[in-house]
Amino acid sequence: MSKQRDIEKEFLSNIIEDKKHPTRKKGINSKQKGNSFERIIAKVFSERFNRSFARTVSSGAYTGGKNVKNAEVLSEEQLLIFASDIRCPKDFAFSIECKSYKALDFYDLFNESSNLFSWYEQSERDAKLLNKEPLLIVKTNQHKPIVFVEMDYLIKHPCSDKKPVFIHKCKACFWLEDLLTFSDSFFFIDGQK
């Protein structure tokens, strides 16, 4: 887990460093920030499971949103490459959606027009395409990543004494570092790695 924390510190230090230099262009390119976060998550999962995880081509945009019709002509193997944000092993139970955002407000939990709700929907849509479970990972500036897992899946696959930080809209929210301590059987279909 120390490697994961080092990666998180490196990511945060880059953001903090940009704030220290007033001569640099103000603001952070949100696309680059998102891509960087996806690469970090792929690396964290690769190290945790000793398997290959990688950022998806076009970060899932090829089959996402209005492009969902593109998925109709893709094979199962092609969908694994183009859908969701992280390309996962075939026997991995989840489709991973990553969001790196400046901030979330507590009231976003109650505002159905907030980004959080659209992120839930996006993660569910991608997971359905892949016949997997949705896993939404959210990182805001200056905070550790959190992850949302469907309560139904959590109930059917108990494998940890870790309790969610909170439950919202039938989704359990954990710190990512806590979720990654769950046994491998939680993450892989039929509990095999």
Question: Model pTM?
Answer: 0.77
Per-residue pLDDT, 186 = 95
Among the residue ranges 88-92, 135-139, 159-163, the one predicted with the least confidence is 159-163
What size, in residues, is the chain?
193
Q: Tell me what pLDDT residue 67 has.
A: 53
Q: Which position has the higher pLDDT, 31 or 113?
A: 113
Cβ(89)–Cβ(192) under 8 Å?
A: no
Mind giving me the DSSP string for 2-58? HHHHHHHHHHHHHHHHHHH-TTSPSS--HHHHHHHHHHHHHHHHHHHHTS--EEPGG
Band (91; pLDDT cuts 50, 70, 90):
very high
Which tens digit of pLDDT belongs to each residue from 56-78? 876 555 555 555 555 555 556 65
Pick from 176, 170, 87, 183: nearest CA to 126: 87
**Token pair for 177:** 């570092």
Q: State the average pLDDT over residues 87-91.
A: 91
